[in-house]
């Protein structure tokens, strides 16, 4: 009985490793897509809103706005949009990272879980203003 159990486990391990690799990689690519979408579509809305204010923004906010401008190709003299450079480089880097972690599936799963939590948090944070607007219209 134990030999058949060991046989099943030895056959399942490579499949689990492959699934772990692809699951982690797809989540990482999804994370890149969420980051890119936020920088291209969400942050510019805040840029317009902040432009109306008369006070100096925190440095981190200014960096985020500058990154959004670069990603969208809105900087003066910029020839190529930043997303055309950043997205392929990020995809290559993430793919290489998870390929290197193929021998450490628990570490890859931990990283993928952190990325999934980041994706969920960002989507919820991006939907919060929409919820506030809908709630205000409903009242």
**81 pLDDT tier (thresholds 50, 70, 90):** very high
Residue 45 confidence (pLDDT) above 90: no
Count of structural domains, the chain: 1
Domain presence at residue 8: no
Q: Which domain holds residue 113?
A: 17-138
Domain presence at residue 124: yes
Give CA angle at 41 (28, 35), nearest 5°.
15
Domain presence at residue 59: yes
Domain presence at residue 96: yes
Mean pLDDT of all residues belonging to the chain: 82
Q: Which two tokens stand for residue 67?
A: 């990154």
Tokens 């949009």 belong to: 81
Domain presence at residue 74: yes
pLDDT digits (tens, 9 = 90+) for 51-65: 787 778 788 888 888
pLDDT digits (tens, 9 = 90+) for 115-135: 888 888 877 776 666 666 566
Domain presence at residue 5: no
Domain presence at residue 3: no
């Amino acid at each position: 009985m134990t030999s058949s159990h060991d046989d099943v486990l030895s056959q399942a391990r490579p499949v689990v490793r492959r699934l772990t690799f692809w699951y982690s990689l797809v989540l990482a690519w999804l994370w890149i897509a969420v980051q890119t979408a936020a920088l291209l579509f969400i942050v510019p809305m805040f840029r317009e809103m902040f432009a109306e204010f008369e006070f100096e923004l925190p440095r981190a906010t200014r960096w985020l706005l500058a990154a959004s401008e670069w990603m969208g190709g809105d900087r003066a003299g910029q020839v190529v949009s930043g997303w055309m450079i950043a997205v392929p480089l990020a995809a290559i880097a993430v793919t290489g990272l998870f390929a290197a972690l193929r021998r450490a599936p628990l570490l890859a799963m931990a990283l993928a879980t952190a990325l999934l939590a980041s994706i969920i948090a960002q989507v919820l944070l991006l939907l919060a203003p929409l919820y506030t607007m809908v709630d205000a219209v409903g009242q």
